[in-house]
Amino acid sequence: VGLVLSLLLFLEQSASSEPVASISDGRSTVARTMRPVWELQALRQHGDQIVILYLQGQLFFGSGQRLASAIARTLEQRSPTYCILSFAKVPGIDVSAVEFLKSAQKRAKRNGCTLVFCRMHPDVFSALSAAQLITSPNADLRKLVEGGPRDDEAQAHVIDLDRPGGNGDGAHRESEHLEELQGVHVGPSQGLVRCMSSTHSFQPLSSGIHDAFDHETDALDYCAEQVLSRTTYADGARLDDVQQAYRVACRNGSRLPEAMFEQLNRMPPGTMQRLRPHCRVHQDCRPKDVLHARNSLNFVLQGAVSMVDTSEGERSSVANLAQALHISPKGFHGRGGKRLRKRYPPGCVLGKTAFLLHQNARVCDQQVMSELVVSDKFGRTTEVWVLGEESWRQLPEDLRRVVGELMLLQLAEERQHTFLSGE
């Protein structure tokens, strides 16, 4: 009798709990990929086309019905183009809840809205896939589902940024493209064609048509790119030289010209040319390469670099305890047990915080510094200029002041981005 009563009490409590824990949209929540100010401004204006519902609890008949109703109300009140459903706190889903979701998906489609699924437990993903709620997971999620090598299992190449690398021959290989961009205002479909022959093939953030992702940040990046493609970067949109060059570099995997790097960061013309002799240039960094930088500023001119934390090293004691308790270490819930802090596309400078702390002897422990890993989201190869501590000291006073102002500007922009990404 006691067991039956406990079961009935559990079912009553579960049935009365709300399946939606919280809600946000693309105006107030962005992915962890750094974006230039004009893209953030566009998302503040058009981000309401993206809604994200954070779900919780076991989904079955009662909670599934309420979830479908919540989605319906969202469609009525907000008319979003994308509705992201995060299943991170959903341990399971039964057949009746799946059917309610199928009805909600059909209704959303009639209203011009796409349901996007992310952060699913394997059983939840299997149930949604079997019901064909999910038909086109993106490559990262598909790799996990199919049992392919994860990020932490792939062969990683460690690049010591403190050692010389690269020959510098490619520093101006996009100069012809820069000349093409001067004074030209074109849509993305025209500008992208110009660089295709000189870049590697890869899958940019907005490529393909997908309805499921491994993590919320992947889903947000994908949806934001779709919104930006129809607004800021729509065919015929008038873009200035910097915006056009940046878009080409991100979409095409090509190199951001040095003059555009300077304009993007409000640096005096010729700054990068003056800075280059003081830097070590690494031009062929590949996805998954680990960039070992002890105390340096790292300028990204092509591709992208991610700042990630891992559950290894000093955190191994926590990881071991988590494994014994069959739970995940706090914060390490992404691919390969890694936590993405930020992803830095062309035009960014990495290592600013560590560099400044080292300069002033304020590092509490080197282990708290995140790992730098080359990303595959912005190209097949990445170019990084490395300005070491000794080279920093040898910079002319005026050049050091310019780089110092650049660090302050980008630190402020990172802080602004963190307010929106909820890192």
255-305 pLDDT per residue, tens: 999 999 999 999 999 999 999 999 999 998 999 899 887 689 999 999 999
Strands laid side by side in the 82-89 sheet: 20-25, 50-56, 82-89, 114-118, 212-213
Amino acid at 237: A
Q: Give the pLDDT confidence score for residue 155 in this predicted structure.
A: 52
Give yes or no for residue 156 having a pLDDT over 80: no
Tokens of 63: 């909670």
Give yes or no for residue 11 having a pLDDT over 70: no
Mean pLDDT of the chain: 84
At residue 168 the predicted structure's pLDDT band, cuts being 50, 70 and 90, is very low
| 70-93 pLDDT tens trace | 999 999 999 999 999 999 999 999
Q: Give the pLDDT confidence score for residue 14 in this predicted structure.
A: 56
E strands in 268-360: 280-285, 290-292, 296-302, 305-310, 338-344, 349-350
Between these two residues, 274 and 171, which has the higher pLDDT value?
274
Phi, psi of 156 (to 5 degrees): -100, 140
Q: Give the pLDDT confidence score for residue 358 in this predicted structure.
A: 86
At residue 406 the predicted structure's pLDDT band, cuts being 50, 70 and 90, is very high
Q: Record the pTM.
A: 0.83
**Dihedral angle sign, alpha carbons of residues 317, 322, 325, 326:** negative
Give yes or no for residue 150 having a pLDDT over 60: no
Between these two residues, 205 and 315, which has the higher pLDDT value?
205
Give yes or no for residue 188 having a pLDDT over 70: no
Output the CA torsion 68→70→76→77 (10° steps). -170
Q: Give the pLDDT confidence score for residue 190 in this predicted structure.
A: 33
Dist. CA 133–CA 71, nearest whole Å: 15
Which residues does 360 contact at the CB level (< 8 Å), separation at least 6? Answer: none
